[in-house]
Amino acid sequence: MATSTEPRGRARGRLAGTRPLTALLAAAIGTALPALAQDLRDLHLDTVPRTGSEAARIALVLGPPEDPAQPQRFELRSGGAATVRARPGDDAFSQPSANLASEDQMRFRLGNALFNRLWVSAPSSTIASDGLGPLFNARGCQGCHLRDGRGRPPGDSDDGALSMALHLSVPAPEGVADPHGIADWLATLPDPVYGTQLQDQAIQGQTPEGRVAVTWTDRLVGLEGGEIVTLRQPRWRAEGLQYGPLAPGILLSPRVAPQMIGLGLLEAIATADILALADPDDADGDGISGRAAIVWSPEFDAPMLGRFGHKGGSATVRQQTARAFLGDLGLSTTLFPDGQGDCTEAEVDCRAAPDGGDPAQGGVEVSDEALDLVTFYARNLGVPARRDVDDPEVLRGRTIFRQLGCAACHHPAFVTARLTDRPEQSFQLIWPYTDLLLHDMGDGLADNRPEGRASGREWRTPPLWGIGLTRQVSGHTFFLHDGRARSLIEAILWHGGEAEAARDAVIHLAPDDRAALIRFLESL
């Protein structure tokens, strides 16, 4: 190789970008958990404690590859036994987990039908499908997660549909306390008129709040070997506002819909195993901290580890699904029962619109049965198998990925908890390439909008499994929380903060090494 891949700066000296195996083992048997773990229980999982021998096996299998020139054992099966064959079409993310029992296939199909359903406004003869809005961003889940894949920013969609949301909030006045007693809670309040999310669509008789707009400014970055990459810097704004300007000091955060695969497997990772990777005070001095997102669970009425959403705002797949029903479609559930969705008291006509809640459904628009079916579907979307795991260039790219410290946040593998009631996710060796923790990603990616414990510079590490199939499934390669990156190299170059040293190392890689790194990512 023309240029050494020796890590630079703060990333130097990391052992394959992973925490020591002894720490993982200790976490697995429950002898060295962070104090925080005492309060963050896996209330959503019915688990069987691991034995000492199981913990030892797990510690061995999660270690770095013994031979960098060879694939790791079981690396092909990203989702463990739930892994599905990598299909060549755009339905690669829409298959049920390979180990889903035959009696559960019908539940998956029913959940899929509800996920694809186009909801209508109330009142309607189709009681099970009414209640949309009054304001909304999409008429169905597939409106944002087309083919269960990744959304895209405005201006790049063929049909003009918005597969992203613009989150709104204002800083809370000084002295506003954490409403749930969660340490380090960063309080913000919705816009007093437009609520927590800008709604660009409305039912008949209502008026959309406005629309999301963006202006791109080019920024050039030079790479070793003479290549020039053009990054596009976004400036987000809300236009066509129907009720006057946004509140002074408004904080805007655009969020592109993420891909849907493997959510149940991420949910099945023991909280203790995730916390074992956290280093909030950077005690080891490697420049990588990682903090747990702690959120209030309306499902369990307790603080829990946040795993889902760009800033880890939801603890479970069910909570995240119910939040999407409310914020994106304006549909109430027993978790979020407001039939007017995100309409504020200032939006008088919206608050007066018919509510589709039905007594036969618990007084809400999406019954618990329907919510559970969509949740089951989302939990069991299978992760496609890796491609080209034994390709020499892919293996070289994997080595570079680890040497540069990328695996410090994009943690390669976990073994899920042993579960009594969810065999398809139970005790699986999975390769999601995420630690599910919050990391400071620097000023370039900052939205400056806190959420829960996450600051305006922090984001939850997104899983990388399936990322190489993005174009195949979604028809584009827009990455990061707002879709600004048009390629994987652009996404890397936007990294800052804790990832600055790794980013700079990528800039200084020889072109063939950089190509190998991208080739590895495309194999995931």
Answer for the pair 28, 58: CB distance below 8 angstroms, yes or no.
yes
The structure tokens listed for 124 are 């309607």
Q: What is the mean pLDDT of residues 351-379?
A: 94
Predicted confidence at residue 129, as pLDDT, reads 86
Mean pLDDT of 28-37: 39
Q: Is the pLDDT higher at 18 or at 314?
A: 314
Which conformational region is residue 197 in: left (phi greater than 0), alpha (psi within -120 to 50 degrees), or beta? beta
Out of 77-86, 449-458, 514-523, least confident range:
449-458
pLDDT above 70 as % of the chain: 91
Secondary structure (3-state) at 473: helix
**Residue 16: predicted pLDDT:** 33
Q: Can you read off the two tokens belonging to residue 253? A: 């955060």
| Residue 3 domain flag | no
DSSP string, 293-345: -EEEETTTTEEEE--BSTT--BSSHHHHHHHHHHHHH----SSS--TTTT--T
Q: 396 falls in which pLDDT band (50, 70, 90)?
A: very high
Predicted pLDDT at 222: 98
Of 364, 379, 394, the position where a domain reaches its end is 379
The confidence score (pLDDT) of residue 447 equals 95
pLDDT at 109: 98
Nearest to 328 by CA among 474, 140, 147: 140
178-182, 195-199, 515-519 — which is least confidently predicted? Answer: 178-182
Domain of residue 191 covers 102-262+317-379
Is the pLDDT confidence value at 183 over 80? no
**22 pLDDT exceeds 70?**
no
CA end-to-end span of the chain, whole Å?
23
- Residue 282 maps to a domain: yes
- Give the Cα separation of 311 and 91 in Å (integer): 27
8 A C-beta contact, residue 232 and residue 480:
no
Shared domain for 409 and 439, answered yes or no, is yes
What mean pLDDT do residues 358-373 have? 93
The pLDDT of residue 177 is: 65
pLDDT at 63: 84
pLDDT in tens, 276-304: 999 999 999 999 999 999 999 999 999 99
What's the number of domains the chain is made of? 2
Q: Which residues pair with 201 in a beta bridge?
A: 136
Q: Are 154 and 21 contained in the same domain?
A: no
500-509: per-residue pLDDT in tens?
999 999 999 9
Which pLDDT score, from 0 to 100, does residue 30 have? Answer: 37
Mean pLDDT score, 170-195:
82
Q: Is 62 a member of any domain?
A: yes
Q: Same structural domain for residues 258 and 269?
A: no
Percentage, residues of the chain above pLDDT 90: 82
DSSP labels, 161-218: ---EEEEEEEEPPTTPPPTT--TT---EE-BTTTBTB---EE-TT-----EEEEEEEE
Residue 210 and residue 323 share a domain: yes
- The answer to whether residue 217 is domain-embedded is yes
Q: What is the mean pLDDT of residues 156-169?
A: 70
Residue 327 lies in a domain: yes
- What is the pLDDT, as a whole number, of residue 513? 98
Pair (372, 481) in one structural domain: no
pLDDT beyond 50 at 27: no
Question: Looking at the structure, do residues 89 and 233 belong to the same domain, yes or no?
Answer: no
Shared-domain flag, residues 115 and 68: no
Residue with more model confidence, 16 or 299: 299
pLDDT of 40 > 80? The answer is: yes
- Look at residue 413 and tell me whether its pLDDT is greater than 70: yes
User: What is the average pLDDT score of the chain?
Assistant: 90
Q: Radius of gyration (Cα) for the chain, nearest Å?
A: 22
Q: What is the pLDDT of residue 13?
A: 31
pLDDT (0 to 100) of residue 8: 30
Average pLDDT over residues 9-36: 35
Residues 323, 432 within the same domain: no
Helices (H) and strands (E) in the chain, counts: 13, 15
Write down which residue in 350, 379, 408 finishes a domain.
Answer: 379
Do 374 and 402 fall into the same domain? no
Span 196-245, pLDDT tens digits: 999 999 999 999 999 999 999 999 999 999 999 999 999 999 999 999 99
Q: Where among 360, 379, 398 does a domain terminate?
A: 379
Whether 156 maps to a domain, the answer reads yes
Query: pLDDT tens, 94-133?
Result: 999 999 999 999 999 999 999 999 999 998 877 778 999 9
Is pLDDT of 164 > 70? yes
Q: Average the pLDDT over each of 166-175, 279-288, 416-425 and give the range with the smallest value.
A: 166-175
Segment 510-516 shows an average pLDDT of 98
Specify the range with the lowest mean pLDDT, choosing from 151-160, 311-320, 329-338, 451-460: 151-160
* Structure confidence by residue, pLDDT tens digits, 445-489: 999 999 989 999 999 999 999 999 999 999 999 999 999 999 999
- Mark whether 190 and 254 lie in a shared domain: yes
Question: What is the pLDDT, as a whole number, of residue 12?
Answer: 28
Q: Judge whether 311 lies within some domain.
A: no
**510, 516, 519, 520: CA torsion to nearest 10:** -120
162 band by pLDDT with thresholds 50, 70 and 90: low
pLDDT value at 6 more than 50: no
Using pLDDT thresholds of 50, 70 and 90, give the confidence band for residue 155: confident
Q: Are residues 39 and 163 in the same domain?
A: no
69 lies in some domain:
yes
In this structure, the answer to whether residues 421 and 458 fall within a common structural domain is yes
Q: What is the pLDDT of residue 321?
A: 98
